[in-house]
Amino acid sequence: MQPDIEIYLLSCTTESILDWLRKQFVIVNEPKKQDTCTSLTIEHNNKRIKVAILEEAAGKRFTSVWFDSPDTPWKDDIECAKQAFQELNCEVRCNFSGWEEEDNSDPDQWWCINQYKEGPFIWK
């Protein structure tokens, strides 16, 4: 299990992301927007999960969706990215190997899913 899940969505509105989350989870509190960040709490299997949606997280066109919990329904970032791509039909990027203390993998190695390809790439 990963301690958290984070994906990056290309040119996807916060409202579309919230609609996706509403279909998948129980929303515990109304989303709160402050500048470019929207925060909310969702529930999955009776566990509460804090979510932050940060617009312009990687350049102007990518929005980060961060699930701050090990209790998500996905085993890793890639599994979450695959579901997000199917539901939102926009390019999704995530860390290739997840994050761990003393991880020796290339920090620029990422996973990308879009209408043309799926697989690892270097994001610089």
Q: How confident is the model at residue 104 (pLDDT cuts 50, 70, 90)?
A: low
Tokens for 42, please give them.
Answer: 């969702």
Q: How confident is the model at residue 116 (pLDDT cuts 50, 70, 90)?
A: very high
Range 88-116 average pLDDT: 78
User: Is 105's pLDDT higher than 60?
Assistant: no
Q: Do residues 28 and 40 lie in contact, with contact meaning Cβ atoms separated by under 8 Å?
A: yes
Give the contacts of 30 (CB within 8 A, at least 6 positions apart). 40
Phi, psi of 4, rounded to the nearest 5 degrees: -160, 175
Q: How confident is the model at residue 96 (pLDDT cuts 50, 70, 90)?
A: confident
| CATH number of the domain bearing residue 53 | 3.30.310
User: Is 98's pLDDT higher than 70?
Assistant: no
Domain count, the chain: 1
Q: Which residues pair with 92 in a beta bridge?
A: 9, 113
Residue numbers of the domain that contains 69: 5-122
Per-residue confidence (pLDDT) for residue 101, from 0 to 100: 46
Range 50-56 average pLDDT: 97
Task: Summarize pLDDT for 72-86 with one digit per residue, the tens.
Answer: 999 999 999 999 999
